[in-house]
Structures are given as structure tokens and as C-alpha cells.
Chains A and B, each alone.
Chain A
Amino acid sequence: MPVIVAVDASLSMWRNVFEGEEKKTTRFNIAEECTNQILDHVTSKFKLESMALLSCSSSVTVLSDFTRDLSMLKNGLKALKIGDKADFSSFVNYLNHFVVKTWGRMQSCTVIVITDGGIVSVESLDALKNAQTKNSLFEFPCNLHFLCIETLQNLKLSGSYYLLHEILKINEDLGSVVPLLETKTPEMGLPGMVATSIDKFLNNTLKTFETTLSCGNLSSRISIFPSPKAQKSINSSLEAEIFTVKDKISIVGFLNISDIRNPPVLSRHLLLPITPTEVEDISTHPSFSVVLHGSLKMESKVALVKLATEWFGIIYSWADSKTKSNLVLSILPVGLNCIPWLGNFNQLAPASMWPESLSSKKPSIPSFPVQSKRFMKRSYSQPTVAWTRATGLQTDVQKILRSAKKLPEKSHVFYKDLNRLRRAALSFGFHDLLDGISALLERECTLLPGTAHPEATLQLSHAARELKSTINKGHEHTIEPLKTDF
């Protein structure tokens, strides 16, 4: 996931780390070194990772927008200048805008703030708490880490430790507060101490996510990039449960892209086969991932893969450009019924299991999309009465009049619409309307041209009579056409 490094550029960073020492080192210098170390680490270990560099005081400065280019990031770092005072709430607002414009609101990001601990003031905490109309600090999923050039003891003494943790609480406890200094300066000296702390932090926080992708007895060791996020179950009726991707994910079957119909997904990830270490020539050592990719691409299929109990994803061939295609995993929301048109995942079975004897008798083998038959039809796929607007009623009346003019040919449609209108009027307690329509039909009777079929007159006056006389006959009653001898 993209990494944003933000350096606290407030004046307090200008303080020396240890006052008594001969060689004066400001926290600002340390912060620069830390940033360098993080940039080197990430760009060398995670070649696909985008990073951005910010500095924040009362305003936020973008030193480098998201890039994978180390030299650009380092150049940006050279422009780092000391500012005035820290304002964390404006930093949060800026960051929301900054991240969302590039990555949207679904991409989770890592934000590393390098500070002396004093970046969050009581006022900014209150401001953030009050402004919090949404559930979380950020508009995007965010892992927020504070790297503090301070000892744990001093952080606690100054109260910063509490404030930083309050911020993390608003961020759904995603993140950490890391004091980079220790009370006793170890033998390696200050830079060494900080470098070790940073190293430990980076190795703990930024990891490649490795897992085994299997299909029956075939398997391939893969890394998932960016690392999949653990998910809380969205099922409101149960206690929130944390779901994490397992260290073995198995393909349960295959689906056509045309059947799966663009399901909503939580995130997408690149699947990169991992080279077995004992193999010398990696490019010629066969890998299951490559077979899978080739087949999925050729057939326009996706592989449905089980990530955890009741959690699935789809694997497919994805191409950034015309020539370079890759295996990509899209993670579906947690749950067996998360995509309504695919039905319950546990109820899917291989097509080859469908008994042949059955298929000859019933040619309609159930297929996608799954129709939700359990509940009634939607209003837009069946005749619906909606009269809140005058036009709704007028359209329905016009329709009856149109078929009334074409009696007796349109007798069937005429009575169907008439009965529908009658029922709706009864439902809405709109009995005056029935009298009105009755009068309308009687007038239509008089307006019929001389060439009209004699039955038309009979049917119209019959319908007009019936509308009035059946008001008390209830919803179930149907006005039947008059039986005539014509």
C-alpha cells in the first residue's frame, strides 16, 4: 500500500536531542536521517510501492508527490525546511484530500509521521473529535504510525503519549506510537540507536504478504501486493469478527467473467509467484501461477478462491498495458452472500456434477445471475401504481380511454386496466375517483362515432355502471366484460 512519510517541521524540532553533549544534533537532523532510511528501505524492498513526502507545520508542504523514483523523493527531502507550529487537524484534512485525489477512498495507505511527539495539541485533538461526523479519522483506510524522536518516558511525562494514543483511537486503533530513543544512550551512539529503532519498526510494519495459492494438488507460493487488510465482518447481526487472509488460499472453482458481472470488491492485489530458492534458473522453472494465468486469460474466466471461512476473492488475468498481463486478486466483501447475483457461495457446484439424465429432461440448468425469487418483484419490473404525482393518475386514466376508443377489440386490455385502477382507488380510499371515472366512461359513450361497433356502447355503459356499484364489493372483485351476442 502507498506510504506517506510526513516530517513534523514545527520549531520544537529544532531542539537538540541531548543538551549536554558536545556534538549537537537537532531532532530535525535526526528526522531527515530517519526519512532517508525509510525511503531507502521501502524503495529497495518494495519496488512497486509508491511513496510521498510531506512536511507539516501550520501548513502542509508536499516535498514529493506519490512516486517510485527514489531520486525524486530524495530531491524532495532536500527542500525540507523548518516551519512554525504544528497543527495536526489541518494536517489530517490536507492528507484526506491529498490521498483521496490519487487513490480514492478504498485504498489503504500507511502514514508515517516523524515528530518529536508534540505534533498533536489538545486543541487539535478536540477539533478532530468534534469534526468527526464520520466514523474514522481519515476518509481512507489508514495505518498511522508516529515515530517520535523522544524516549518513552519523556513522551509520557509531556502528555504527548496520551494525545497520540487518543488520535489512534479515533483511527480505529490502526497504527502505533514508536519512541525512537532510549533513556540510556547505547554504545553505538545516537545515530545507531535511531537507525536500529527504525529498522525494527520497518521490519515489523512493512512486510510482504506471502501465501500459497492452491488448486487441488497444484500450488504455487505467491506474494500478495499490496498486503491484504484484515476485515471486520460487515454483518450487522453478529459481533464484529476479524477476518484475515490465510497462509493457504485455495481455488474452489471457476466462473465466467460474463457471469460474475463486475461485483463490488474491497481491494485488488497483484499476485506474484515467489521463486523457490533452490532453483537456479527461475524463468524456466515451471510455475502453477503461469498456467493458471494463461488459462484464465484465454477463457475469460476468473478463479473463485477461498481466503478464509466465509470469505472469498476472485483471481483473474489483468493487463495494465496491452503486452503486460498479470495475475490479480480482487477481494470480495466478507460473507457467503456478498454478491446477490451469485447466490450463496456454498451453494455453487461444478457444472460437470449436473446429472446428464436431468439435463436432458430439464434443459434449463440453473445459471447466473441468480434471481432472488424469495422476495417479490421490484416495482420497476411489474405494473405499479404511483399516484402521488397528478401525472401518475392521469397516465393511467389516459390508458383506459385509449383502449375504450378501440372497443371491442381492446376489450381485454380495457378491463385489465380498469380493474387495476379500481383496485388502486379502493386501496387508497379514493372512492370519489371511481365515480369520476364512471362519469368519464359514460361521456365516452356519447362521444363514440357512428361507425363504432355497437358492442362498444354496451361495454362502456356496463363498465361505468359496474364501477359505481361494486365499490363495496372489495379488492378481490373483478369487473368482467359484458357477455354479448355480437
Chain B
Amino acid sequence: MSSFNLDHKTVFVLDHGPTLTESSKQNVDFDIFSKARPQGVVPLAPVSKSLWTCCMEALCEYSRVVWDIFPGEKFLRYVVSDSTSTFLNSWKHEEQSMSHLMTKLAGIGPPLKTSDCSVILGLVSAVAALCEATEIQQQTITEHPGHIIENSGRIVCITQLKNDSHRRSLEECVAEAMKQHNKLSESSGILKILSIEFVLVHVKSFGSDCEVTELRHVLPNHPSVTTEVHDVKATRHGIAIGNRMLNLLQKHYNLSVTSITGIPMKEEQHANSSANYDVLLMHERLTGTMDRAKIDVSDNELTSSMSLKWCTPKINVNELYHCTGAARISPVDVNSRPSLCLTNFLLNGRSVLLDHWQKSGDAGGGSGSSGSKNTHMISCCGSDIFLHALDVYRVPFEDPPSISDGPGGRVTDYRINDFTEIAKKAELLPIGHRLKSVGNEPINLSMKLLDRMSKQWPLVFSKTIVYNMKQAEPLLQVITKEIISDDEVVNCQRVIYHLISMEKDGTALPVSGSTTRGPNKHKREEQYKSMWNELEGLLRLHSTISTNHKQVLDCLLKCTGKESENGNEEKPQAKFRVSTKEEVFESPESPPPVKKMKNESEMAIRPSKGAQSILSMWQNHMDNQNSQFHVEFCGRLTSDSNKARLYPDIEDEVSQVQAASSQDKNDRSGMRRGGGSGGHRFGSFHRGSRQDQGKSGRSTPTSHMKQKAMKKMNKPYSPKT
């Protein structure tokens, strides 16, 4: 079952008969003089408003506030009733506006003077209108077929009653019409009405003594109809009717009336001084505050249940306030100068903090004792002005431990700037409806993007080599894209070729952290191995996105000698590459090029990342320096991690078997099989194997060609530092 509140639909029945043509007996001076009156000029006689005029002005104010506060949520309709009944609008969104109402009202003109007028016709039409579904109700019916719509509504009839029995006949008429329509609803498709609130506004001119009893009761024979009668005299230029309607509005939609006080405004006459003004606003009751003010419907001006004092307009837009409720506002007097100043100020995009202003005792306002804290904020969000209630109470997790004291809090080499790049790419904008060829949920595009960007994303620099390399950046940028162009594939391939030439040239890799103790040839080999592993893993994860992604992976596999998983072709390449390395260094024991290493890692790579602390830079520097004086235990040098394995030969046989079987997975172990050993036995095979490979490398003409080709390719990437 779907329920709609009583205030979802309201139908106004407007008596367009002779009784309302009567003058309100109240005159309005339209000819006033703001400055000194010229001599000898007599002001023009004031004009008097008819009861109809007073009512229509009041009706427009009521409607204005409803549409300001509940755009597209609450619906109003108007039936003009004389000798016939005429609808001024439908439930459609586009006919729920002031301009539509004003145009239609002008179309029907002042009330008729014929005697055959009655509101009965209008009331029957009003009940029929309540049986029609609004666009929101229609949507619910379409989306959830089988739901019973709990359909209620309010009928506000503005008329002049003759006496109480006249009232009873109108009540009876509404109840009877409802009964008939509900009967009809069983056979036809119209909505059944659950309950009606029937509000009779009895208007009379100043001095009239035609009184009816003001009451609110449930009709004895029709428990689903509640009647309320208001007796209003058009005193004070008819504003009594306007006030009564605003009071009714406040009650009908349970609105709060709030006064913004102390708004500084420059005076026209005294430009350098400013006076303080108050503006009265209506808004939905804010959640989190309890507005206990009881709503009394009277002919008096609305009174505020809460006063909010204007504070500094300076607000940091990057500060997030804890806001417990926000409500659209509508100024009670929309055209007064203070109102206009306030709304124009806010519509320009400014926000203002407000303080709860305690009058004597508890004025029924929300926030209780809050000291000097800002309790509210008023600002324009989109086309609407909202009043926000800010939380001024104790935070349930007051004074928590800092995140840096928690798990992972002491890690210093997080890739925060890199994550920021992801956050920038996945910055959401309301563009879903403008993107073509997108399903019904564009937000999923963002989910997919985040998924692609994070397929292999080490949290810290010390766990990655690839992301530390400026040289790899173009490839990393491209590979996370959903669609890669052919040109971009070529660019990626260039990067791979460049990396290969780097390895060949023996360029040190930017391995960060203190784990690079004593980098030398062996270490470097290890680093390149893990770099290739990392890169392959990354490309493999992305290779399923498209054939072009796959092509990049294929290129890498080809270059690292894994184009066919069981192939022997990789051997020459591997030998070739390792052999070229030997040309660079004289011997394995030669001191590592510490300075170069430092330059590479800090100058070429780090500035672009920028997330390294001075401490870690200093540590790197010291480590590098220290490593020069330090003769590394050769067992550790050749080990996988910093731990040296004792008696590696014991597992010799086992490891050979493992190496053979795991070569598919172990990305680059294949290249080293020339040494006749798996990854576990570097200590024993390195020296011999290298010479082996060296020879075969030189004697391989194809690899020589490749070398040349690579050099060519490398040009755009050569020394960037």
C-alpha cells in the first residue's frame, strides 16, 4: 500500500458568485507620497478592494509559499464555481506555477452578478479532481502495479456562507460526492478517496454581521470527512484574509516561521552607516529541532517561533558543517526591501551563519542552550534557498585517536598524490543524462573507472618499482583507460622497449626505502626481475579489457621472452640482455654507482611524485652512502629478500623441479634458465652463467638487430634528467 499525505493534493473552490463582488469596505491608498507632497496636490481617492480581490490576493500568497517550499511535491488545483464550474489548472507539473495561476485568474475576471451561482458545482468537481492521480501518484502506480494508493486530499472552499445550515448542506454535498465517486472507483480506473479535509473559509466585508460558527468536526455520518470552518472579516485592507490564509498554510503543511534578525543593510540616504533589519521566513520544520510552537489559526500576522541572529558572512567553502536538517524557505513578505536584500544576497551564492537568538526563556525554538556556536546556516543551493540546522551538540566520538595512531598510521611512503589523481578522475559531476550510450545508471561508469584504476595499485612506494619510474608513467596512464587507441598502444610499446634498454644499459631502478641496502649488479638484476614481474602482473590484469590492452601485454611478453609460454626462443634474448649488462660493470664486486642511483631515484622520479618525506630522503641518502663502506655478505646479496639462505644446495633438486613447473607463473625465471637453475640458486650459478649468456648473446644476430631497433625507439625517452 502506498500512502500519500493529506497535503499532497489540495483543491481550492472559489465562489465566483455575486456575494464576493461586494466591496470589502476597506480602502487602500495607492497614491502616497514618499517625499514631500507638491503644493496644491490633493491625493487621489483611495480605491476599495472587492472581497474577491482580497481572496485572490490571499490565495496567490498561499500558493506562492507552497510552490516555493514544496516544488514538485505538493499540488494545488483551483475550481471556479458560478453557474458552471471551471478548472483553472490540472495536476500537471507545468500548471503548478504562479504565472499559470495569474493568467488563468485574469481570464475568468471578477465574480458574476447573476443569481444562479453556487459553490455546489465546484465542490463536486473538486471531489472529482481528488480522484485523479498527480504525476507522482501516477509514477507510483506505474512503477509498483498492484499497490493500493492511499489517496486523500483537502478541499478549501472560499465563499460566503449564509448560515450554519448552509454549511451543513455544503458538507453533505462533499460527503455525498465522495461516496458516489468511491462507488464509481470500483468499476472505473479512478482513485478511491480515503479521507477529505473540507476547509470552509467564510469571508465577509468589514461591518458585516453574518456570522457562522467556527468549528472543526468529523461529519457524524461520514467519518472520512472532516470539516473546518473559518470566519474571516476583511479588515485592514483585506489583510485579515491574507493573514488567515497564511496561518492556515502554516497549519496545513506544519511549517515553522523563523525570523532572521539583525541583518545589516546599507541605507540609501546614509551610505556609510547600516541599520539592522528582520526578515520573516516560512519553512518546513527542521529535523533535529523540536519546534513546539502551537499553531493557532487567527487573523493576525504570523509570529516567529525562532529568531536567528545574523553572523559573519565569511564561510570557508571547503569546510564541511555537520548539518542535521535543511529546509527550503519562502519569505513571508517577498517584496519587502529587507526580504529582497536578503534573498538577492543569498542568490548570489553566499552563505550566512546564524545564531539561535534566545528571547526570554525557551521560545520553543530548537537548539536549546548552545552558547555562542552557530546553530543555523542559510544559503542558496541551486535555485533554492535553504535554511540548514547545524549540529551543536557533543560529538559521539569526541576526541578520538588520530588516524596516524591507528593501523598503518606510521607508514610514511603512501602514494597519496597518486591516489589524488584517481580521486580527480573519479570526481563526480551531474552529467549522467548528458552522456550518450550510457545505461540507466551512469554512476556505474564511475564504479568501473575505479575498478580499472585500482586493478594493481600498491599503497606504498616501497612496494612498487613501476610506479616509481617516470619512464613507465605514459604506459601507466594509458593502460587504465577503457579504450586504448592504436597510437597509444604504440606509445606503450615504446615504454616497454625503453625499459628494456634501461635494463640493458644497467640503469639503476628507483627502489625506495632502506631495503636497497648495497645495491649492486645482483641486486639490480633482482630489481629488474621484480619490476618486470610487477609490470606483467599489471598488464595481465588489464589485458582482458580490450584487444589493444592485450596487445600491450603481448608486447611485454614478447620482449621479456615469453611470447610462447613453453618456447625456447626466449633464451637468446635473455642471454643477450644479461650479457650487455656485463659490459657495463667490471665485476660483481665493483661498488655500486651510489651517486647515480641517488640521482635517478631522487631527481628523476621523486619530484614527480612528491610524496616522500624529508626523513625518508635523508634515510635513502644515508643508506646509499653507508652502503659504499659496507661489504655485503655475499649470501644476502644473492638472496631473494634480505635474508640469506644457508645451504641452498640442499634444495637443489627440489628447486629445479619447481622451477621447471613454475616457469609459466614465475614470469622471468625462464630467462635465467640458461644458468641451469631455478630462482633459488643464484649464489651458485651467477658467475658461470653470465659468461655463457654473454657469449651466446653476442653471437646472436637477431638480438643485435633488435638492439639497434630499440636504440632508435628509445630516442624520445633518452635522458630526461
Chain A interface residues toward B at CB < 8 A? 1-2, 48, 50, 66, 100-107, 139, 215-218, 225-226, 236-239, 250-258, 260-265, 268-270, 272-276, 279, 282-296, 298-304, 316, 318, 320-321, 323-327, 330, 340-354, 365-381, 384-395, 397-398, 423-424, 426-433, 435-437, 439-440, 443, 447, 474-476
Q: Which 3 A-B pairs have the closest CB atoms?
A: A287-B408, A388-B242, A216-B454
Of the candidates A257, A389, A433, the one whose C-beta lies within 8 Å of that of B242 is A389
Complex-state Cα separation, A374 to B72, whole angstroms: 8
B312 at the interface (CB under 8 A from A): no
Which residue in chain A gives the minimum CB-CB distance to B430?
Answer: A343
Given the interface pairs A263-B326, A295-B420, A370-B382, the reply to whether A282 lies near B428 with Cβ below 8 Å is no
Q: Which of B57, B110, B325, B411 counts the most A-chain CB atoms under 10 A from its CB?
A: B57
B382 touches A341 (CB 8 A): yes
A429 touches B109 (CB 8 A): yes
| Min CB–CB distance A40 → chain B (angstroms) | 21
A427 touches B414 (CB 8 A): no
Given the interface pairs A264-B326, A386-B64, A394-B32, the reply to whether A290 lies near B409 with Cβ below 8 Å is yes
| Min CB–CB distance A292 → chain B (angstroms) | 7
| Min CB–CB distance A125 → chain B (angstroms) | 23
Q: Which of B343, B367, B435 counts the most A-chain CB atoms under 10 A from its CB?
A: B435
Which residue in chain A gives the minimum CB-CB distance to B326?
Answer: A264
Stretch at the interface among B116-124, B316-324, B657-665: B316-324
A291 touches B416 (CB 8 A): yes
Interface residues of B in 134-163 (CB under 8 A from A): 136-137, 140, 144, 147
B330 touches A379 (CB 8 A): yes
Complex-state Cα separation, A229 to B397, whole angstroms: 16
B454 touches A225 (CB 8 A): no
A264 touches B388 (CB 8 A): yes
A252 touches B30 (CB 8 A): no
Which residue in chain A gives the minimum CB-CB distance to B366?
Answer: A105
11 A–B contact pairs at CB < 8 A?
A101-B369, A254-B423, A264-B389, A290-B406, A293-B403, A295-B420, A350-B427, A366-B429, A389-B237, A432-B47, A443-B44
With a CB–CB cut-off of 8 A, which chain A residues contact B517? none
Which residue in chain B gives the minimum CB-CB distance to A270?
Answer: B397
Given the interface pairs A216-B453, A237-B137, A286-B463, the reply to whether A253 lies near B334 with Cβ below 8 Å is no
A283 touches B428 (CB 8 A): no
B61 touches A388 (CB 8 A): yes
Given the interface pairs A107-B393, A264-B326, A326-B403, the reply to whether A436 lies near B44 with Cβ below 8 Å is yes
CB-defined interface of B98-132 with A at 8 Å, one 1/0 digit per residue? 11011101110111000000000000000000000
| Min CB–CB distance A388 → chain B (angstroms) | 3
Complex-state Cα separation, A107 to B32, whole angstroms: 55
CB-defined interface of B8-43 with A at 8 Å, one 1/0 digit per residue? 000000000000000000001111101000100100
A102 touches B397 (CB 8 A): no
B451 at the interface (CB under 8 A from A): yes
Complex-state Cα separation, A23 to B93, whole angstroms: 77
With a CB–CB cut-off of 8 A, which chain A residues contact B318? 256-258, 300
B215 at the interface (CB under 8 A from A): no
A432 touches B102 (CB 8 A): no
Complex-state Cα separation, A2 to B397, whole angstroms: 9
Which residue in chain A gives the minimum CB-CB distance to B451?
Answer: A216
With a CB–CB cut-off of 8 A, which chain B residues contact A347? 430-433, 442-443
CB-defined interface of B198-236 with A at 8 Å, one 1/0 digit per residue? 000000000000000000000000000000000000000
B423 touches A372 (CB 8 A): no
With a CB–CB cut-off of 8 A, which chain B residues contact A390? 28-29, 237, 239
Of the candidates A218, A260, A327, A391, the one whose C-beta lies within 8 Å of that of B320 is A260
Which residue in chain A gives the minimum CB-CB distance to B398?
Answer: A320
Of the candidates B48, B237, B381, B414, the one whose C-beta lies within 8 Å of that of A291 is B414
Which residue in chain B gives the minimum CB-CB distance to A344?
Answer: B432
Q: Which of B4, B289, B318, B431 counts the most A-chain CB atoms under 10 A from its CB?
A: B431
| Min CB–CB distance B267 → chain A (angstroms) | 17
B419 touches A436 (CB 8 A): no
B566 at the interface (CB under 8 A from A): no
Q: Which of A225, A256, A263, A392 counts the most B-chain CB atoms under 10 A from its CB?
A: A392
With a CB–CB cut-off of 8 A, which chain A residues contact B61? 386, 388
With a CB–CB cut-off of 8 A, which chain B residues contact A397? 30-32
B44 touches A440 (CB 8 A): yes
Complex-state Cα separation, A325 to B406, whole angstroms: 11
Interface residues of B in 314-341 (CB under 8 A from A): 317-326, 330-331, 333-336, 339-340
Q: Which of A284, A298, A380 counts the most B-chain CB atoms under 10 A from its CB?
A: A380
Given the interface pairs A251-B450, A268-B322, the reply to whether A283 lies near B106 with Cβ below 8 Å is no
Complex-state Cα separation, A397 to B31, whole angstroms: 8
With a CB–CB cut-off of 8 A, which chain A residues contact B719? none
Complex-state Cα separation, A257 to B427, whole angstroms: 11
A348 touches B330 (CB 8 A): no
Complex-state Cα separation, A205 to B472, whole angstroms: 53
CB-defined interface of B666-690 with A at 8 Å, one 1/0 digit per residue? 0000000000000000000000000
Complex-state Cα separation, A439 to B42, whole angstroms: 12
Given the interface pairs A217-B455, A263-B326, A270-B397, the reply to whether A369 lies near B381 with Cβ below 8 Å is yes
Known pairs A262-B321, A349-B435, A397-B30. 17 more at Cβ < 8 A? A48-B400, A104-B324, A105-B289, A252-B446, A264-B389, A269-B397, A284-B408, A347-B430, A350-B428, A354-B429, A366-B430, A386-B64, A387-B57, A423-B106, A429-B111, A432-B47, A436-B45
A304 touches B335 (CB 8 A): no
B426 at the interface (CB under 8 A from A): yes
Given the interface pairs A216-B452, A353-B431, A389-B242, the reply to whether A379 lies near B102 with Cβ below 8 Å is no
CB-defined interface of B161-179 with A at 8 Å, one 1/0 digit per residue? 0000000000000000000
Complex-state Cα separation, A264 to B377, whole angstroms: 11
Given the interface pairs A215-B450, A253-B426, A429-B109, the reply to whether A226 lies near B431 with Cβ below 8 Å is no
A393 touches B423 (CB 8 A): no
Given the interface pairs A239-B2, A350-B446, A398-B34, the reply to whether A103 lies near B102 with Cβ below 8 Å is no
B1 at the interface (CB under 8 A from A): yes
Of the candidates A349, A386, A440, the one whose C-beta lies within 8 Å of that of B445 is A349
Of the candidates B111, B402, B424, B463, the one whose C-beta lies within 8 Å of that of A324 is B402
B52 at the interface (CB under 8 A from A): yes
With a CB–CB cut-off of 8 A, which chain A residues contact B136? 237
B30 touches A436 (CB 8 A): yes
Complex-state Cα separation, A388 to B75, whole angstroms: 22
| Min CB–CB distance A483 → chain B (angstroms) | 26
Which residue in chain B gives the minimum CB-CB distance to A276?
Answer: B407
B385 touches A378 (CB 8 A): yes
A352 touches B425 (CB 8 A): yes
B257 at the interface (CB under 8 A from A): no
With a CB–CB cut-off of 8 A, which chain B residues contact A105? 287-290
B317 touches A257 (CB 8 A): yes
Complex-state Cα separation, A351 to B428, whole angstroms: 6
| Min CB–CB distance B483 → chain A (angstroms) | 11
CB-defined interface of B64-80 with A at 8 Å, one 1/0 digit per residue? 11011001100000000
With a CB–CB cut-off of 8 A, which chain A residues contact B29? 390, 394
With a CB–CB cut-off of 8 A, which chain A residues contact B56? 427-429
Given the interface pairs A217-B454, A252-B446, the reply to whether A349 lies near B438 with Cβ below 8 Å is yes
Of the candidates A274, A321, A372, the one whose C-beta lies within 8 Å of that of B72 is A372
Of the candidates B99, B140, B454, the one whose C-beta lies within 8 Å of that of A376 is B99
Of the candidates B241, B382, B383, B445, the one whose C-beta lies within 8 Å of that of A353 is B445
